[in-house]
Amino acid sequence: MPDIARLCIIGVGLIGGSLALALRQAGAVGSVIGVGRSAANLEEAVRLGIIDSYSHDAATAVESADMVVLAVPVGSIRPVCEQIRDHLPADAILTDVGSVKADVVEQVRAGFGELPARFVPGHPIAGTEKSGAAAAFPELYQGRRVLLTPLQETFPEALAKVRRMWESVGAEVETMTVEHHDTVLAATSHLPHMLAFGLVDSLARQQDSDEIFRYAAGGFRDFTRIASSDPVMWRDICMHNGPALLGAMSRFEEEMAELRDAIEQGDSDRLVEIFSRAKAARDKFAG
């Protein structure tokens, strides 16, 4: 008997679709129903064996589920919760995969009128720049971290079941507070996306941009890969983790100002000092 009898994935894209595929491969789920707006994406998900069936109506789709995963862009969490609030079975567990946590928790609270005790906020630290069901693959979570940010209200057995779900697909689960999550992810994920989007946009708007991109080498490709990520998803992350992201951007602007100043002053020692410090830090975490 699988740990999850009937899984409902709301938002069958890269993250939700990969989770469904991986749970199926692990034998950890019975049936999977998907929810989304576009029939084409959901038909593709059925064809790829990600889901067994689908609905455009989240309310009816959750009615027989024992595990519901919200895998939509973070700006859509509240309206989805409003749709399912009177239909989610009392003993069903609700979790999410959103890239920001404090705001998602508030949206769930607002959508339900109170925070459901079986809601477990989560965020897999895994992904690619691709989106939609066709981008899903079952190995996505192997050896990757999943951060769960349980609240005072969260039932321990709900937390335990969501932990087992992620561990069954090969992930390493850690818990932390929503605030800590949002600060850390602003620095390590959201800021790098701003740099990639900003760099590519500033170059693309130059008159000789074709020439610039023609001669871009591997390093440029690596650094800017994430600028191919979905614009709506990233709009939502920026809008819903604003304070933490602005803090990370301010610290980065100070660093840029220091580099700029060193170059203007011809201060080569300061440049070597900054680069050496960065290299040591990078070598340490990459090693």
Could you list the residues that contact ligand NAP (CB under 6 A)? Answer: 10-16, 35-38, 41, 71-74, 76, 80, 97-99, 123-124, 127, 131-132, 230, 233, 237
Minimum distance of ligand NAP from residue 130's CB (angstroms):
7
End-to-end CA distance of the chain: 41
Our CB check for ligand NAP shows the closer of 94 and 237 to be 237
Taking a C-beta distance cutoff of 8 angstroms, is the pair 65, 8 a contact? yes
Our CB check for ligand NAP shows the closer of 230 and 267 to be 230
Our CB check for ligand NAP shows the closer of 111 and 127 to be 127
- In the three-class reduction of DSSP (H, G, I as helix; E, B as strand; rest coil), residue 6 is classed as strand
Our CB check for ligand NAP shows the closer of 187 and 271 to be 187
Minimum distance of ligand NAP from residue 2's CB (angstroms):
23
Our CB check for ligand NAP shows the closer of 132 and 242 to be 132
Minimum distance of ligand NAP from residue 258's CB (angstroms):
31
Minimum distance of ligand NAP from residue 285's CB (angstroms):
19
Minimum distance of ligand NAP from residue 109's CB (angstroms):
17
Residues 6+ apart with CB under 8 A from 23: 4, 7, 29, 32, 165, 168, 169
CA angle 74, 76, 80 (to 5 degrees): 125
Residues 6+ apart with CB under 8 A from 103: 74, 182, 240, 241
Our CB check for ligand NAP shows the closer of 184 and 274 to be 184
> For residue 221, how many C-alpha atoms fall within 13 Å in the half-sphere facing its CB?
5
Residues 6+ apart with CB under 8 A from 271: 259, 262, 263
Minimum distance of ligand NAP from residue 83's CB (angstroms):
8
66 vs 6: CA distance, rounded Å: 6
| Per-residue DSSP letter, 187 | I
